[in-house]
Structure 1
Amino acid sequence: MKLFAILLMAALMALPSVAQEKEVIATANYRLEIIKKGFRYGFARPDGSMILPPHASSGLVFSGGAAADCARNSDGTFEVVNDRGVKATVEIEAAEYHVRFRVRPQTGTRIVMRTGGVASPSYGLADHAAFGRNTTDVTGYRDDRFRAQEPPGHKRMISNFVIFPRQGIALVNMEKGLKLVRVTEDEIAQGSQEAGEMPAMYYFLGTPEQIYAAFLKARNREGYPVYKPKYEFFGVGWEAFGALGWKTNEKTVTENVEKYLSLGYPLSWMVVGSGFWPNEDPNLCATTSFGLWDKVRYPDPKRFIQHFKSKGLKFFLGLRISFIKDGPYSAEGVAKGYFLKEDGVAKAYKIAFPKLPAYLLDGSNPDAVKWYVGLCQKWMDYGVDGFKEDLFGYGVVRMREGNIDAVNRALMDKGVFIMGRNNYLGSACDVHRFEDFNFDQNQDRGPINGLAFSYSGFPYTYPDIVGGTFGEGRKMPPLNSPRMQTYMMRNARYASVNPSMAVGMGPWNFGSDEVEKVMREAAQLHGRLLPYIYSAAIDAYETGFPWTMAPLPLLFPDDPQVHGRENTTVRGYQWMLGPSLLACPLYGNDYDTANTRDVYLPAGKWMDYDTGTVYQGPRLLKDFPLPVGKTPLFVGGKGVVVETGLNAVVYPVAAGTYRFTHSDGTTRTMITTDARHWDKVQVADITVNQTVHFERDPGSGAIRFLIVPGHDYEIK
């Protein structure tokens, strides 16, 4: 890095400026051009073609004024003066795939960096892209008070990262406070509304793979770490709130989970998120009743939890950082200064849950976080493996982004499983749950939300419980109505091709053999793909690229046909589930009337997962049939899938090498395909130089064989 910086400075000094009006920082990948008047900066390719043009008037606004002029200092920094005479120092770090600006004004708290705009599409913004919007394309988005919990909707998975894959550029202002975001065809701007400096304004340049790799490094560097996820969370889960609502106890939970298992559901995790706390005292009705159980509903919690763990399930409880004012641990938290304060005093807020006023932990206080994690241990002493983090309804609180991340990071550091709902920029959790997704809501929000997560660097999407929650005053038709039956089947098919899925309301409640069959098939598909999906999750963790749910515009940015489809008009909600499977679920508000979709197959060879029919892309399959009984997948890309039991399935669609990561997150197996005559292939374990027995599927021609962890294989 130091050598690169030296070479870069040499290149900068060697480049002539035009009448001293422009400064140019050139690398092998891009040119950063700064017009001194107005500090108007833009990005161009080495051949001079424009990537992102400079702003029409000024590239920097601070201390109540727009940049008027600038000069480069001998140390490489820039001194910028605005039209009010206030100065700011701008440091620029130019690396191979990123440029980092640091802005330090003499005074003032509002800082905005901006360029000219570019034509759509642009993608990202996580939860902010999903509510009140009808497309994943965020062009036209404008919000000068960008923050969590901003209406409409409960926005809690927060990112202000925006990518323009066709232009090969992305940007983000890494800032925990109130932000400004504008993505229009006239202006691309990000800012800090209440900060005295802007320490980490990043632009990333290159291919989408290069951009996400650089974004990953920047997040880890700037204090927004991305954690390695754990295996079981990518399988099929069970949530008590979907199955039983608030009325949970040892008997009802056990009976419900056991019924799912007896029906062949491959459950690997479960959540009891509510009702386990002591219910007779309202001051204890919260997830922070650490170690205190309802003695009537849960008389023997250790035995209860161990029962499920003996069946291979990971057991999770609900968890929030809210402490009821008169709860068992609140006095200690107030005395030691562990809660958020207003005017120097801990304040109990009226938030959505718990129902009584509650203090909120101060995640910026390391001692408070350590204390909280110690309290969590009281739950883990009973055998609890992790938590469903779910603070919500806190819009009244002046809480900086990342307050909950501090707790989740500390728990992840201890190996605790975390289902994340609140998050800023990093990934201190195993899966990313989007907002409650229920029958009486906009069903297009689900796929738009999930894809927006992936664009934003949150690719471990969990699309909430299949079917959502029931009761709570929701307006629903009878469970045995045709519409409800179709809803459950479509929702299950959609969830099955997400990185994680979970069931709740039992399929036996809907009065339909077809519902039971389709939901079971969907869960079994997902469970069968668990090893393959987890391997893709490790690829995402290591590279930054969202391989568990990779939107097609990131994989094929120069193909115009992949853009403009992820919206409520086309409903072309498609993504790569790992490097070998193209997901195309029929979902959206037309779930109960539509039976076909226009499915786009990009360049390459694609095989229908169910029938083995082969198509050559690029090709649009008009009105492609997707009945509720069909698996919404095509095989392509690497053409290799590893299923449960370490069964490798290799399809005759492509040559190349597939890298599989085993459930420990470390051990690798390489599978290389180089077969010109598929009917005459042989499989060899090249680690021990032995021929491997395989079976061939008569329909698809795929071959199936067992693999050994750490061994590599060749098909030719």
Structure 2
Amino acid sequence: MKFTDGFWQLRPGVTALYASEAYDIRQKDDGVDGAALEITAPTQVIARRGDVLNRTTLTTTISSPIEGVIRVRIAHHVGGRWHGGFALPGAGERGSGAGVADAGAGTLASGALTARIAPGAPWALSFEVDGVRVTGSGHKAQGFVRLGAEAAVEHGIVGNARAETGVPPERVFVHEQLDLGVGETIYGLGERFGPLVKNGQTIDIWNADGGTSSEQAYKNVPFYLSSRGYGLLVNDPGHVSFEVGSEAVERVQFSVPGEVLEYFVFAGPTPKDVLTRYTALTGRAPVVPAWSYGPWLSTSFTTDYDEKTVTSFIEGMAERDIPLSVFHFDCFWMREFNWCDFEWDPRVFPDPDGMLRRLHDRGLKVSVWINPYIAQRSPLFADAAAADYLVQRGDGSVWQWDLWQAGMGLVDFTNPAAVRWYQDKLRALLAQGVDCFKTDFGERIPTDVVWHDGSDPARMHNLYAQLYNRAVHDVLVAERGEGDAVLFARSATAGGQTMPVHWGGDNTSTFPSMAESLRGGLSLAMSGFAHWSHDIGGFEGTPDPAVFKRWVAFGLLSSHSRFHGSDSYRVPWAFDDEAVEVTRRFAKLKMRLMPYLFQAGIDAARTGTPIMRPMQLEFPDDPATAYLDRQYLLGPDLLVAPVFSASGEVEFYLPAGEWTSLLTGETVNGGGWRREVHGFDSVPLYARPGAVIPWGARDDRPDYDYHDGLAVRVFTGGSGTREVTVTAPDGSSRTYSVDLSDVTG
């Protein structure tokens, strides 16, 4: 959100007061993190005694919840009611913070990270990692802003404003600005489909159903990662507005409505260190079941289908020797206008129990589509409304609208009784034989409503996705066990990584949309999410065979892989014979890679490092990787460069060292750009210098005993000894030690 008009002036209707000096610095116990510094910052330099009268101050409190993380809270009026931030499972017990405060020196140190406040004027708060300043807050950085009525209305139009889910107009804001260094690049802020580097962008943290071709996002996360060796989370689940060098070009500005802004700074020095600390505080992804990594095949959305159709798809995959792990039933497994009533449409599925049993007999898992909305035609609507399980308007009536489903209401997950009621509907499906749920939607959340627990509606707009996914994930953990629980979710915010898997939402069946989907996944990875998927072939429209075949290679070299579309099927034989061969080749390749991929998922649960890794995350010291967004590392050792053209032409960058094509065995020297041409059955897939890849013995399913018949593929270009751990789905683990000096071409 922009408040200024150039360097010197404010926009019409805007008044702003800025922290001008650290008038005093006091050491205290803040009762949350323990040791803290409290700074009183008048909004004018106090030169004489009369200057303290009629003077606004900002109170900044600095503390540390865990090692290497510093909390900063800026408050205008400290007695105001704060709405609260995100759940922070890693913060520990009250008063157990890691900070060492020294008011005399104006420092608070926590591991490698130090906050330093200079006494007096001008205002100067800096952050150091291992003694090196990485960023700071200076002149006109901390501000309290008021908007006039016209300016407030202008600033309130964000998100799906056409349907009561836009940001409500606000009058007061607190903002902070942190320095951007020369050449510093900013990443993250959720699953965003524009440029991977966020410099120069205005980004509003406000979940919206805008598709992948817009500035809106399903998964907004107010966390960014800097190339200078730190990260930052704004601890506010509501509307956070970022100006990343797009207003003050030397700074990142972030602002929130209200009287209080709280943020955390995370130490590096490497990007992986930042993500480790960020996910230690906000939560890490659990280990997802091995079967979830295999191919998922969907009915698609508006297509016609019944058990005969479903069976033909499954038998078609088997006849063509294409591995299949999960079959997904999209919306129309329920009757139209009844979403959600959690009942199989008896006109097309007269024997759901028998059908589910027959699918399980084929070795498949079953996923069904759900959302958090109850249409008024659903038999459940009256029951939920009578029990106050649906979100209400201020007059006590049920909030309803007609977008998506006629007269739909919204389940109020702040009501524990509503959560139990919703979960009981899911338990019935699990008892019937359903294995997992696609938790669609969760972004169209109104702000003109009253929540059961009194939550601030503006903050609940983004946070609703957490409550929705948590209700579903918890029942899966309870009924299926922690190691067998998995979602296929669309919406999220900070902390959503603890309930995987998430997919990229509604893309189109084109090469540009394929590329924007990858950008979204890499941006989400930089936001702490370990698992990610996307609709192979694109959702809207029907891909031509070239798009489909190129997308198959990309999709099956992603963390999770789903064939899904809107109004046409995504079975490979619907395109051409070569599509069948391409799907078989890459599906079997992924099954062979399962010992490697499953371990990458286990490591993500331990460290927070995602499975699909942006190049900047893995090679932070190589400046050539800063802007790369058309390639990634799958796990620690495999570089993937999807082909975004029918011709097979692809350009990508290989860092220094000797790289080996996993598909051909050819070795090439990195340290520069390569142009290659690939057939539909190929893709640039290179093993890192000195890579050790555990190679499974089976290519027909993802959940087998990885130790039985395991091969260890060792690649040239490394030195010393490398240890690689392989963990099978049953939890048995073995570590292999390889002397890389013995490896030749």
| Per-residue deviation, 1:136 | 0.5
In the other structure, the counterpart of 1:266 is 323
**What letter matches 2:362 in structure 1?**
K
The answer to whether 1:538 aligns with 2:602 is yes
In the other structure, the counterpart of 1:632 is 684
Q: What SS class does the counterpart of residue 593 from structure 2 fall into?
A: helix
Q: What SS class does the counterpart of residue 308 from structure 1 fall into?
A: helix
CA contact (8 A) 2:141 2:175 kept: no
| Structure-1 separation of matches of 2:582 and 2:447 | 43
| Structure-2 separation of matches of 1:7 and 1:258 | 57
CA contact (8 A) 2:537 2:547 kept: yes
| Per-residue deviation, 1:158 | 2.0
| Per-residue deviation, 1:164 | 0.9
Q: What SS class does the counterpart of residue 591 from structure 2 fall into?
A: helix
| Structure-2 separation of matches of 1:46 and 1:153 | 36
**What letter matches 2:726 in structure 1?**
F
Q: Point out the more displaced range, 436-445 or 452-461.
A: 436-445
**What letter matches 1:369 in structure 2?**
V
In the other structure, the counterpart of 1:99 is none
Mapping of 1:383-422 within 5 angstroms? 383-391=433-441, 394=444, 399-414=460-475, 415=477, 416-422=485-491
In the other structure, the counterpart of 1:605 is 658
Q: 2:729 aligns with which of 644, 663, 667?
A: 663
Pair 1:459–1:330, CA change in 2 (3 A): same
In the other structure, the counterpart of 1:424 is 493
In the other structure, the counterpart of 1:169 is 230
The answer to whether 1:320 aligns with 2:371 is yes
Q: Point out the more displaced range, 387-396 or 55-64.
A: 55-64
Pair 1:9–1:215, CA change in 2 (3 A): closer
Pair 1:205–1:252, CA change in 2 (3 A): same
The answer to whether 1:467 aligns with 2:467 is no
CA contact (8 A) 2:323 2:584 kept: no
| Per-residue deviation, 1:258 | 1.4
**What letter matches 2:515 in structure 1?**
D
Mapping of 1:69-108 within 5 angstroms? none
Larger RCO (CA under 8 A, 6+ residues apart): 2
Deviations 1:486-528 (A, max 9, x none): 1111111111211111235222222x33222122212222233
CA contact (8 A) 1:146 1:181 kept: no
Q: 1:157 aligns with which of 219, 229, 245?
A: 219
**What letter matches 1:677 in structure 2?**
D
CA contact (8 A) 1:638 1:658 kept: no
Deviations 1:146-189 (A, max 9, x none): 44446836621221211113x00111112221212221142212
In the other structure, the counterpart of 1:33 is 116
| Structure-2 separation of matches of 1:667 and 1:377 | 30
**What letter matches 1:320 in structure 2?**
N
In the other structure, the counterpart of 1:12 is 102
**What letter matches 1:488 in structure 2?**
F
Pair 1:346–1:533, CA change in 2 (3 A): farther
| Structure 2: unaligned runs, 5 residues or longer | 1-32, 36-66, 68-94, 149-169, 449-459, 478-484, 565-569, 699-703
**What letter matches 1:625 in structure 2?**
V
| Structure-2 separation of matches of 1:561 and 1:190 | 28
Deviations 1:235-260 (A, max 9, x none): 11111116xx4312111111111111
Q: 1:277 aligns with which of 334, 340, 364?
A: 334
CA contact (8 A) 1:208 1:554 kept: yes
| Per-residue deviation, 1:293 | 1.9
Pair 1:380–1:254, CA change in 2 (3 A): same
TM-score, normalised via structure 2 length: 0.73
| Structure-2 separation of matches of 1:6 and 1:359 | 42
CA contact (8 A) 1:40 1:58 kept: no
| Per-residue deviation, 1:397 | 5.4
Pair 1:489–1:139, CA change in 2 (3 A): same
| Structure-2 separation of matches of 1:396 and 1:411 | 21
| Structure-1 separation of matches of 2:653 and 2:279 | 29
Q: What SS class does the counterpart of residue 300 from structure 2 fall into?
A: helix
In the other structure, the counterpart of 2:649 is 596
Q: What SS class does the counterpart of residue 581 from structure 2 fall into?
A: helix
Mapping of 1:689-704 within 5 angstroms? none
CA contact (8 A) 1:147 1:401 kept: yes
In the other structure, the counterpart of 1:448 is 519
Q: 2:581 aligns with which of 473, 493, 517?
A: 517
Q: 1:308 aligns with which of 359, 365, 374?
A: 359
Q: What SS class does the counterpart of residue 325 from structure 2 fall into?
A: strand
Pair 1:259–1:352, CA change in 2 (3 A): farther
| Per-residue deviation, 1:381 | 2.3
CA contact (8 A) 2:656 2:672 kept: no
| Structure-1 separation of matches of 2:236 and 2:96 | 29
In the other structure, the counterpart of 1:357 is 407
The answer to whether 1:181 aligns with 2:231 is no
In the other structure, the counterpart of 2:64 is none
Pair 1:203–1:38, CA change in 2 (3 A): farther
Deviations 1:398-424 (A, max 9, x none): 552121322322332332431111111
| Structure-2 separation of matches of 1:188 and 1:126 | 16
Q: What SS class does the counterpart of residue 606 from structure 1 fall into?
A: strand
In the other structure, the counterpart of 2:432 is 382
CA contact (8 A) 1:463 1:501 kept: yes
Pair 1:648–1:159, CA change in 2 (3 A): farther
| Per-residue deviation, 1:39 | 4.6
| Per-residue deviation, 1:536 | 0.8
| Structure-2 separation of matches of 1:59 and 1:561 | 34
Deviations 1:263-287 (A, max 9, x none): 11111112101222235xx3x2x1x
| Per-residue deviation, 1:592 | 2.2
| Structure-1 separation of matches of 2:638 and 2:295 | 18
The answer to whether 1:232 aligns with 2:313 is no
The answer to whether 1:115 aligns with 2:178 is yes
Q: What SS class does the counterpart of residue 604 from structure 2 fall into?
A: helix
CA contact (8 A) 1:230 1:430 kept: no
**What letter matches 1:160 in structure 2?**
P
| Structure-1 separation of matches of 2:134 and 2:421 | 49
Pair 1:261–1:459, CA change in 2 (3 A): same
| Per-residue deviation, 1:30 | 3.5
Q: What SS class does the counterpart of residue 210 from structure 1 fall into?
A: helix
Q: What SS class does the counterpart of residue 462 from structure 2 fall into?
A: coil
CA contact (8 A) 1:454 1:551 kept: yes
Deviations 1:599-634 (A, max 9, x none): 3222343211122122343x2243123332214311
**What letter matches 2:646 in structure 1?**
D
| Per-residue deviation, 1:219 | 0.6
| Structure 1: unaligned runs, 5 residues or longer | 16-22, 66-106, 567-572, 680-700, 702-716
**What letter matches 1:331 in structure 2?**
A
Pair 1:43–1:488, CA change in 2 (3 A): same
| Per-residue deviation, 1:346 | 4.3
Q: 1:24 aligns with which of 107, 111, 134?
A: 107
Pair 1:40–1:13, CA change in 2 (3 A): closer
**What letter matches 1:626 in structure 2?**
H
Deviations 1:517-547 (A, max 9, x none): 122212222233233222211211211111x
Q: 1:623 aligns with which of 661, 675, 700?
A: 675
| Structure-2 separation of matches of 1:7 and 1:449 | 34
**What letter matches 1:434 in structure 2?**
G
Deviations 1:114-141 (A, max 9, x none): 22223442111223x21xx3x2111112
- Number of aligned residue pairs: 587
Deviations 1:215-235 (A, max 9, x none): 011113xxxx64432222211
| Per-residue deviation, 1:452 | 1.0
In the other structure, the counterpart of 1:490 is 550
| Per-residue deviation, 1:335 | 2.1
CA contact (8 A) 2:188 2:223 kept: yes
CA contact (8 A) 2:205 2:220 kept: no
Q: Point out the more displaced range, 340-349 or 373-382.
A: 340-349
TM-score, normalised via structure 1 length: 0.76
| Structure-2 separation of matches of 1:6 and 1:506 | 54
| Structure-2 separation of matches of 1:631 and 1:346 | 56
**What letter matches 2:602 in structure 1?**
I
In the other structure, the counterpart of 1:43 is 127
